[in-house]
């Protein structure tokens, strides 16, 4: 598969009905290996193996209701209290991380209310946090997927067009804009 800037991991694959399948340690089953799934599995293993997040606190591709529509998030890490803590939107390496990708993550977070949001295509990564005094601040990460809330090694950027979403989310997330 494609080389990503996330750490490599040991994986199990098999062929089934003409498709290559990869074992998902969260869903505990084999799933079709698409370029997006390759990124998702790298993120999951990074969280579990590098960041030592207990797998019981990680959810993958679960359904949420958004304005009466059914949607599926890619990865959510929950706090020990069971609250969404981090939402990760994964895209295939060939997909540019455009405003539409960030829009999708923000829409999902209206329902989830996670204080941290990350967007990745496996090559380029962005993570950010809702900061009450400044709104939503994204950090761009070139090599490391820093999801521990620290900015070390990350150059801070304020992502454009975020104020529109913060206004929309103001009541839902109880933040100031």
Spatial distance between the Cα atoms of 81 and 71, rounded to a whole number of angstroms: 24
**Which residues make Cβ contacts (< 8 Å) with residue 171, sequence separation at least 6?**
none
**Which residues make Cβ contacts (< 8 Å) with residue 176, sequence separation at least 6?**
132, 133, 135, 170
CA 143 vs CA 46, 84, 140, 153: distances in Å: 13, 25, 10, 9
pLDDT digits (tens, 9 = 90+) for 34-53: 999 999 999 999 999 988 99
pLDDT digits (tens, 9 = 90+) for 74-115: 999 999 999 999 999 999 999 999 889 988 998 999 899 898
Structure pTM?
A: 0.79
């Amino acid at each position: 598969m494609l080389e990503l800037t996330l750490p490599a991991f040991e994986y199990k694959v098999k062929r089934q009905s003409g498709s290559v399948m990869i074992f998902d340690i969260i869903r505990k089953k084999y799933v079709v290996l698409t370029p997006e799934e390759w990124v998702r599995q790298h993120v999951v293993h990074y969280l579990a193996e590098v960041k030592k997040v207990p797998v019981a606190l990680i959810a993958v591709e679960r359904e949420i209701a958004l304005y009466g529509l059914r949607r599926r998030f890619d990865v959510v890490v929950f706090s020990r209290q069971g609250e969404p803590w981090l939402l990760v939107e994964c895209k295939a390496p060939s997909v540019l991380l455009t405003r539409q990708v960030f829009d999708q993550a923000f829409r999902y977070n209206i329902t989830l209310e996670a204080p941290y949001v990350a967007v990745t295509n496996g090559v380029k990564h962005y993570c950010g946090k809702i900061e009450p005094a400044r709104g939503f601040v994204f950090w761009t990460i070139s090599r490391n997927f820093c999801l521990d809330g620290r900015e070390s090694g990350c150059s801070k950027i304020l992502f454009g067009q975020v104020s529109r979403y913060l206004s929309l989310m103001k009541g839902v997330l109880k933040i100031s804009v």
